[in-house]
Structure 1
Amino acid sequence: MLEHSDASPGWERQVLEKVALAAIEEQRRARRWGIFFKLLIFLYLFLLLFLVLGWIGKTDMTIPGKHSALVELRGIIAADERASADVVVSGLQRAFKDKNTAGVILRINSPGGSPVQAAYIYNEIKRLRKAHPHIPLYAVVEDVCASGGYYAAVAADKIFVNQASIIGSIGVLIDGFGFSEALKKLGIERRLLAAGENKGFLDPFSPMDPEQRAHAMRMLEEIHRQFIEVVREGRAGRLKETPELFSGLVWTGARSIELGLADDFASAAEVAREVIKAEHIVDFTPQEGLGERLARRFGAATGAALRTWGVSLPR
């Protein structure tokens, strides 16, 4: 006997249609979320690309309000360092260019470095001061301002120090090691082939040649004279010259004022507030971008890996 059913005719078809429609709607929803997440990933990668290429964070916009412009000279002064002439000069140019700059502070914490790079910075400061005579530039020393750091500092209108700062080292050097005697004891023969009798100049694995040593000393003395002339020009009328002043010695900040190597005690904040009379400080030091940092780290890691495998890099 057949059982009676209360279900309306075609209910199976209706259920199947609802299931199908629900599946289609779920697919559409999943597609929309997929597009949304893809857009998020695209925006993230686009932003990362901008950061890597350094397109974000760089601006030539004028900063409103009178301010003291700060430029850092920090670390070893060398072409491939953050205290290179390119970096420092770029910051100085932007600082002087800004129409609201009341004065520039060159904050120094450097043991020195390349005399060439230091000379570039010195010369640019002199040029900028001449081009913008109404904008003073003051050097403020933190821990150390020695050798090339002091070379750059003497271009400033005044040099401010801390009592315990280390100042000076007005001298030039070439340093290295000599391994010729060690090679003899180890029974190692040095095979140096060169076209030009002085091509192996100051080779650390060969005995010191008296004529080459004399030539090196003449070069050092010439660069030293250039350094002394720059200091005398920059500190004209303030130096109290003694036999030791240009010997390469360093002094405390307190003693440097007595010798005329510096002018007074003050921090960057004090110079901005009390000397420039513009307490607000704006940092114009070019900042290392993410791309530069990644490249530097990648280069260092690559160099370390190559050295590990015994591969020498050209210099």
Structure 2
Amino acid sequence: MSSHQEDQNTISTKRSHSFLTAIKSVFATIGVISVVLFVIFVGIISISIYSFSSGIKTFSSSMGGASSSAKTGLTFTTPNTSSPYIAGIRLYGEITPENSALVIEKLETARDDKHVVGILFDVNSPGGSVVPSQEIYDTIKEITKVKPVVTYVREVAASGAYYSSASSSKIIANRGSIIGSIGVIMNGFEADKLIQFLKINPFVIKTGALKDTGSPTRPMNEKDKQYLQELIEETRMQFVDDVKQGRKTSDATMKFMSDGRVVLGPQALNLKLIDIIGTKQTAISELVTLAKVKITPDVFYYDDIQSFSELFAQKFAGSTNNIIRDSFSENFKNTKLQNKIPKAEY
């Protein structure tokens, strides 16, 4: 009897094990299918957004009196008007070869548009790459020969941003605006000790002692430092010379600013780095005076045309950021740290 009962228990155990194995297999299969379907769904949505974006992009650019990018070939809006107007062009954020090329394209478009009486150059930038800053400077310099260009510094016009603006007809800044940072900086790092720790043996075959200057695979010697210092000093002198030419500043001012410092609006005015302390409306009024028009025309900004996918990504990122920020703020309010951390606001 006991042997028979043991056999039945064994059979029952095997059946239970088989049943559990089958259940696991079913759930595993469902999981795999769910993942595959989700990936396919996301892929379809992405393709749909990408396909639809070009149509939305063209449609959106034709709204509100702006000319269509399909007709003009531009990636920004321009007004569909026969009346005189002021072209607003923004220089926001870090200056890179990509965004500077778009800024220059906008400047040249405004220059060639017979309805544009002048350009409002709206700046809020900490600077950026050397050559793009010089290219914007040169473009504005040429445009001022035929049309006035007035720069309005919203918050910051530092380093390359100030360089870009220095050839404007006039520079207007708020009293709290940050101006200056006339200088050049070069960053790098040495990773030779880390490479040695990882037992990696890099090799370099070069035709000159300075060919691999700045390479992180070896420590920088005094000859390298002297070479790079001379290089950025020459770049700084180009900066200084162009600012002096564009702003008619004194040698004393450039010497004072040569350590890379920034100053606020009132001091910038005293140093003749700017022309007037005021608001955007002040800049517009100065532009109207320089353009010699009796009635102040409308200001039309050449805004970038964003595709539907870009707008969707921005909205999604913004919503996610707000959720995280609000959640953090709510939790932070419940702690005593809030009263212990100093906070400065203006």
Using the size of structure 2 for normalisation, the TM-score is: 0.63
Amino acid in the other structure paired with 1:96: R
Between the aligned residues of both structures, percent identity stands at 26
Who is 2:255 aligned against?
Answer: 243
Structure 1 119/219 Cα, relative in aligned 2: closer, same or farther at 3 Å?
Answer: same
Q: What is the CA RMSD across the aligned residues, in angstroms?
A: 3.0
Which residue pairs with 2:46 in the alignment?
none
Give every structure 1 segment of 4 or more consecutive aligned residues whose post-TM-superposition deviation is greater than 6 Å.
Answer: 44-47
Assess if the C-alpha contact under 8 Å between 1:238 and 1:261 holds in 2.
no
SS in 1 for 2:188: coil
1:98 equivalent to 2:152? Answer no
Identify the residue that residue 150 of structure 2 maps to in structure 1: 138
- Of residues 164, 170, 176, the one that matches 1:158 is 170
Q: Which residue does 1:194 correspond to in 2? A: 205
| Count of residues in Structure 1 that have an aligned counterpart in Structure 2 | 245
Q: CA deviation at 1:53?
A: 7.6
The alignment status of 1:176 with 2:188, answered yes or no, reads yes
- Cross-structure match for 1:113: 128
Summarize the alignment of residues 47-66 of structure 1 with structure 2, pairs less than 5 Å apart: 48-51=53-56, 57-58=68-69, 59=72, 63-66=81-84
User: 2:152 touches 2:172 (CA, 8 Å); kept in 1?
Assistant: yes
Amino acid at match of 1:195: K
- Residue 257 of structure 1 corresponds to 269
Distance change (3 Å), C-alpha of 1:226 and 1:192: same
Unaligned runs of 5+ in 2: 1-48, 63-67, 73-77, 290-295, 315-346
AA aligned opposite 1:72: R
CA contact (8 A) 1:104 1:138 kept: yes
Compare CA radii of gyration and give the structure with the larger one: 1
Distance 1:153 1:95 in 2: 16
Deviations 1:125-164 (A, max 9, x none): 112222x1xx211111011101110111111011100111
Tell me the secondary structure at the aligned position of residue 229 of structure 1: helix
The alpha carbon displacement at 1:65 in A equals 2.3
Q: Distance in 1 between matches of 2:168 and 2:261?
A: 21
Does residue 69 of the first structure (1) align with residue 84 of the second (2)?
no
CA deviations on 1:156-213 (whole Å, 9 max, x unpaired) are 01110011111101101111222334555x3644413233343322112311122121
Over 3 Å counting, the alpha-carbon distance change for 1:63 and 1:96 in structure 2 is: farther
Equivalent of residue 228 in structure 2, options 216, 219, 233: 216
AA aligned to 1:247 is D
Q: Is the 8 A contact 2:159 2:180 kept in 1?
A: yes
**Relative to structure 2, which stretch is displaced further, 227-236 or 55-64?**
55-64
**Which among 146, 149, 152 is matched to residue 161 of structure 2?**
149
**Counterpart residue type for residue 112 of structure 1:** G
CA distance in structure 2 between the aligned counterparts of 1:223 and 1:53, rounded to whole angstroms: 42
Q: State the match for 2:33 in structure 1.
A: none
Query: What are the ranges of 5 or more consecutive residues in structure 1 without an aligned counterpart?
Result: 1-43, 298-315
Q: Does 2:302 align with 1:290?
A: no
Letter in 2 for 1:218: E
In 1, distance between residues paired with 2:206 and 2:194? 26
